Amino acid sequence: MPDQVGTAIPDSHGAAPVELEPGDSVCRAVARIAAVLRDHLTANLPVAIDGRNVEGVHQVRVALRRFRALVALLRRDYPCATLDEAAARARRLARAVGDARDWDVFLLETLPGLSPLGRMGVNVAGMLLPLAAARRDAAYDGVRQILGGEDARWVLRLVNRLAEGELWDEARSPAGLKALEEPAGAFAVRHLARLHRKVLRKGRGFTLLTPPQRHEVRLALKRLRYAAEFFVTLHAPGHAGRRYLRRLAAMQAALGMDSDVLTTRLLLERFGDAADGEIRYVLGAVTGFLCCRQDATHENAHRRWRKFRRTAVFWAR
């Protein structure tokens, strides 16, 4: 891998939540949130396009996830063609960036974590490293193309419009403008409660859930976490919301192995065109190893789930 250059800017949103005011309208709150997303995205796009600092792609992926989460919230209450287009364009960007990030994780984290198989005579690195490196390079070619293209420019223009308080043309009717003046606190409570209920519903009977079902729980947790981080300062300024956010993040992390195994399996399937007998043996060994590691995380995940379920929500204070 080439020397890393450029400076990727970490996600400041999680470290320093957006400072919203109790009197903010939805329009004003969205502008404040979008300004943070814009700064995060624009700072990291050149690093991701350059490709020599893997953190650039990671941070662009995070920024796109947060942007998509914000758009999803707005589309439920203020549906319009502009937001529909934003969701579609951001999804295409996220797909390309996500593919490159998945290969980075595979090369930098997953393969080193499979070293016990090497001590057992399974040549994981020797077999899979060249294959994965070639696919990673191809994925970065795709990143450079799409992040330098019209989809990225369009999304940046919209994020800037949101940050400047200019939402979308369809909202400029009297009814649309009135809806956007709803107190942000009421908007936040409605959506946080909905997303929290969805997590609890998907996690019902947690110990009996299959790996794909636990993965769905993790996705729901991720959407809830983004929304909670957007609006925590409205309802829980200072330290009041930290306990909820901390347990939410811990629950998401506890289910991370399910996501890692699912992603790795999908990546391994893409080696099928080069899978001779020896490679198939290595792929089988890796799959079995990861499944055993995944199984060992279930008790911790269940313990985290019980804690999360008992945690009081900060928006009901």
Regarding predicted confidence, which is higher, 9 or 281? 281
pLDDT at position 240: 67
List domains and CATH numbers for the chain. Answer: 21-182 (1.40.20.10), 184-317 (1.40.20.10)
Q: What is the pLDDT of residues 110-163, one digit of tens each?
A: 999 988 898 888 888 888 999 999 999 999 999 999 999 999 999 999 999 999
284 or 220: whose pLDDT is higher? Answer: 220
The more confident residue out of 151 and 288 is 151
pTM for the full model? 0.88
Read off the pLDDT band of 169 (50, 70, 90): low
Q: What is the DSSP secondary structure assignment for residue 68, as one 8-state letter?
A: H
35-86: pLDDT as tens digits: 999 999 999 999 999 999 999 999 999 999 999 999 999 988 888 888 999 9
Dist. CA 214–CA 289, nearest whole Å: 19
pLDDT higher at 16 or 34: 34
Mean pLDDT (the chain) is: 87
Going by C-alpha positions, the residue among 229, 297, 302 that lies closest to residue 258 is 297
- At residue 313, the pLDDT reads 92
Residue 176 — pLDDT band, cuts 50, 70, 90?
low
pLDDT for position 12:
44
Q: Answer yes or no: is pLDDT of 200 > 50.
A: yes
* SS3 at position 25: strand
Q: What is the pLDDT of residue 13?
A: 42
Collect all residues with Cβ–Cβ distance below 8 Å to 67 and sequence separation of at least 6: 37, 41, 86, 90, 155, 159
Place of tokens 């080193």: 112
Task: Give the per-residue pLDDT at 111.
Answer: 92
pLDDT at residue 3, as a whole number: 42
Task: Report the Cα 242 to chain-centroid distance in Å.
Answer: 20
b/e code 180-198 from CB counts within 10 Å (16+ = b): bebbbbebbbebbeebbeb
**Does the pLDDT value for residue 168 go beyond 70?**
no
- Closest listed residue to residue 61, CA positions, set 90, 92, 94: 94
d(CA 105, CA 272): 20
Residues of the chain with pLDDT > 70, as a percent, come to: 88
Contact by Cβ (8 Å): 37, 164: no
pLDDT band at residue 283 under the 50/70/90 scheme = confident
Q: Which residues pair with 25 in a beta bridge?
A: 183
pLDDT at 6 over 90: no
**Least confident interval from 61-70, 220-229, 230-239, 261-270:** 230-239
